Structure 1
Amino acid sequence: MFKNYNMNQLVLPLDLEVKLQENDIAFSIHHLVESIPHEAFDSFIRYTGCPSYHPRMMLKIILCGYTQSTFSGRKIEDLLNDSIRMKWLAQGYVPSYRTINRFRVHPEMKELIRQCFVQFRCQLVQEKLIDQEAIFVDGTKIEANANKFTFVWKKAIEKFHASLVEKSNQLYNELLENKIIPEIKRENDEQLSIEELTQIVEKLDEVVDEYTQKIENSEDVSERKQLRSERKSPKQIVKQVSDWIARKQKYEKDFEILGTRNSYSKTDLEATFMRMKDDYMQNGQLKAGYNVQIATEGQFALAYDVFSNPTDTKTLIPFLDRIEKEFFSLPKHIVADAGYGSEQNYDDILTKRKRTPLITYNQYLNEQKKKYQNDPFKTSNWAYDEESDTFTCPNEQKLTFRYHSTRTDKTGFQRQYKMYEFENCTDCPLRSLCTKGHEGTNRKLMINEKWEQQKEYVKTKLSEEETASIYRQRKIDVEPVFGFLKANLGFTRFSVRGKSQVDNEIGLALMAVNIRKYAARG
């Protein structure tokens, strides 16, 4: 005897909700999106044309697709035909993949994703799943949707541009010496601008036209032949300078796209070539990607941002600015690894934000080792006399203060140094162990007092049990989010191009990670 099976009879319930399990992930998605205020959807309203799908429904099905590791618009459309939870969330509607793709790159989509994170965090606070004592910051690099060998390197552009400037200046000087063209008014003596190169072409065209006119007016064969020979050189120069103008325009556009970056991809202009951990080429090849920064607590991603620069140090301040502006007020403790430890970051958190940075610096772990602490040639172990303002080296020689120095980095941040120098290191028996400087030069020491004070502050905080226990949570709080994103969700490469669209997609992917973790907790 078999259970009833009849393909000619309707067996699906009219309400698909009854077919879902009580703790199905679709309910978590539904409640989250429904908690977003109505005002957030006003910008999607259209008063002309065919009525559009409700943005709540569109957001629900995209989030549901991402929680099922489905990032393609076509595959999300397929799920709408196959998945019961997707049918329930869409209430029978089946938007095309084009509609889905247009919606997730919509300019106003960023606000909806932000609202998702804000409402989700409020839900976590209400259910006491997070205590709001600290946020844990970390970053990862994710490959961009760009071709592998479309790189443009800043150093190469600078090299070619410098060569073009040198050649164009040399040619201009030769034209003046040979009195082929008159002198033009230059704004910059170092290089010719595009407008000035265009003037040179115009002057040379006039010279070519004069030769052409003479050739047409002459009836002497030998004279005409001589004139054609003389006309050949300016015509070639016109072609060459025209090529330089096109190249200079390209180089200037490249410099504008690069900005402060060292590279970009031709197929995604805002992606930068970075070294990825998952190197499928096995040769250290750089790949176009984005630096994704997240702030977590309780293994939930509470905020995120996307940067084009590969290093984490310069991303912390703008990331914290975005958190305060768009997501939530910063808690008491900001926790991150040594990649974020810098004088500028410490100063920003302590002075501007009045928060506690639990952030190590590059040499922190080494300084905890006995080998480092017992090494007499480490300058941090040298005895310092505050009254005489001198350091004593292993050879019992004194480093005396010489002068103050100020250094400014590319971002405009200034660091103050005190410069110390030995009187004479020439006959020191320990010279080879102490310095690699050339014979005849004295050992110098640069001391940044503010940086040293900040390091002492961090070491003190990390030695206290309360703050040390918070810092120890970093690895088990933020790292699993990236592991879940890449390994479990399978999100290892962006499917859209451009920083604004990438920002939307990583927001959807991180919220999908949050929803899956939240739904699985019961």
Structure 2
Amino acid sequence: MSEKYKEGLNRNQQLLFPPSLDEYVGENNPVRAIDDYVSLLDLKRLGFNDTSNSLSGQKSYSPQLLLKIYIYGYLNKIRSSRNLEKENRRNIELMWLTSGLKPTYKTIADFRKDNPKALKQVFKEFILLCKGIGLIAGELVGLDGAFLRANASKNTLIMKRTIDESIKQAESSIQEYLTTLAYSDEETVTNKLSKNLPRNLEKLLKKKQNLNLI
């Protein structure tokens, strides 16, 4: 390479003092807000299931960790558990947020299935909080943010109506996201099962489906 261009590190070079993961995430990065927010929550009180009761006898992933992954996925429009798993293995922000832990897509999907109501509530509260402090843009979460820009001198009733509408928009956006996740995860399982089935058995299943439609 020409000497007039900057050169990167030698990928094979052993670093004596490797940079910490924290150095790759800026002080104002939204993932820090996700991390701080989740750390303050009492997930048991909010209705999240305890994930520590693993039947395999192995240590399980904490609900805090899985919640962080889902909030990040929602804000960044990552619409399947498999894609959340993939991003967590290559995305430096998620690596930081999860401290390098790598739950499988099944673990991620099961957490959503086990905690639908609690997830919705936390999503809504976090989104409205972030909008309130100007941390995230409205287009990311489907909110127009009008109630936050409202001037204090405006009519209280108008502000309340706008707040209620914004909350409804948030709830609708969250429901759409969770529905998309459920559909994507179901499609992934179906495709995987289909690939592993013997061809004759797959034909029998299709015939059964057709009979059920008659």
Report the Cα distance in structure 1 between the residues aligned to 2:167 and 2:40, rounded to whole angstroms: 29
Which amino acid letter does the alignment assign opposite residue 180 of structure 2? F
Equivalent position to 1:8, from 12, 21, 26: 12
Tell me if the contact between 2:69 and 2:98 (Cα under 8 Å) persists in the aligned partners: yes
More helix by share: 2
Partner of residue 24, structure 1? 29
Instruction: Calculate the aligned-residue CA RMSD, in Å.
Output: 4.3
More strand by share: 1
Tell me if the contact between 2:50 and 2:63 (Cα under 8 Å) persists in the aligned partners: no
Partner of residue 39, structure 1? 44
Tell me if the contact between 1:61 and 1:86 (Cα under 8 Å) persists in the aligned partners: yes
Tell me, yes or no, if structure 1 residue 114 matches structure 2 residue 121: yes
Report the Cα distance in structure 1 between the residues aligned to 2:75 and 2:127, rounded to whole angstroms: 15
CA drift of 1:485 comes to 4.7
TM-aligned CA distance change 1:72 to 1:42, over 3 Å:
closer
TM-aligned CA distance change 1:299 to 1:481, over 3 Å:
farther
Which consecutive residues of structure 2, in runs of 5 or more, have no partner in the other structure? 135-142, 184-214
Partner of residue 107, structure 2? 99
TM-aligned CA distance change 1:19 to 1:5, over 3 Å:
same
Task: Please list, as runs of the form range in 1=range in 2, the aligned pairs for 1:111-260 lying within 5 A after superposition.
Answer: 111-115=118-122, 117-118=124-125
Equivalent position to 2:73, from 49, 65, 68: 65
What SS is found at the alignment partner of 1:98?
helix
Which amino acid letter does the alignment assign opposite residue 53 of structure 1? Y
Partner of residue 494, structure 1? 180
Which amino acid letter does the alignment assign opposite residue 118 of structure 2? E
TM-aligned CA distance change 1:9 to 1:485, over 3 Å:
farther
Report the Cα distance in structure 1 between the residues aligned to 2:155 and 2:43, rounded to whole angstroms: 42
Report the Cα distance in structure 2 between the residues aligned to 1:24 and 1:466, rounded to whole angstroms: 35
Partner of residue 147, structure 2? 298
Give the % identical residues: 23
Aligned length: 159
Report the Cα distance in structure 2 between the residues aligned to 1:75 and 1:28, rounded to whole angstroms: 22
Task: Please list, as runs of the form range in 1=range in 2, the aligned pairs for 1:458-477 lying within 5 A after superposition.
Answer: 466=155, 469-470=158-159, 473=162
TM-aligned CA distance change 1:472 to 1:77, over 3 Å:
closer
TM-aligned CA distance change 1:13 to 1:470, over 3 Å:
same
1:406-436: per-residue Cα shift (whole Å, max 9, x none)? xxxxxxxxxxxxxxxxxxxxxxxxxxxxxxx
Partner of residue 93, structure 2? 85
What SS is found at the alignment partner of 2:9?
coil
CA drift of 1:494 comes to 2.6
What's the TM-score once normalised by structure 1's chain length? 0.26
Tell me if the contact between 2:78 and 2:84 (Cα under 8 Å) persists in the aligned partners: yes
CA drift of 1:100 comes to 1.0
Report the Cα distance in structure 2 between the residues aligned to 1:34 and 1:128, rounded to whole angstroms: 18
Partner of residue 478, structure 1? 166
Which of the two has higher C-alpha Rg? Answer: 1
TM-aligned CA distance change 1:298 to 1:45, over 3 Å:
farther
1:82-102: per-residue Cα shift (whole Å, max 9, x none)? 100110111111111111111
Which consecutive residues of structure 1, in runs of 5 or more, have no partner in the other structure? 130-293, 301-464, 498-522
CA drift of 1:478 comes to 3.1
CA drift of 1:38 comes to 5.4
1:338-396: per-residue Cα shift (whole Å, max 9, x none)? xxxxxxxxxxxxxxxxxxxxxxxxxxxxxxxxxxxxxxxxxxxxxxxxxxxxxxxxxxx
Report the Cα distance in structure 2 between the residues aligned to 1:117 and 1:105, rounded to whole angstroms: 18
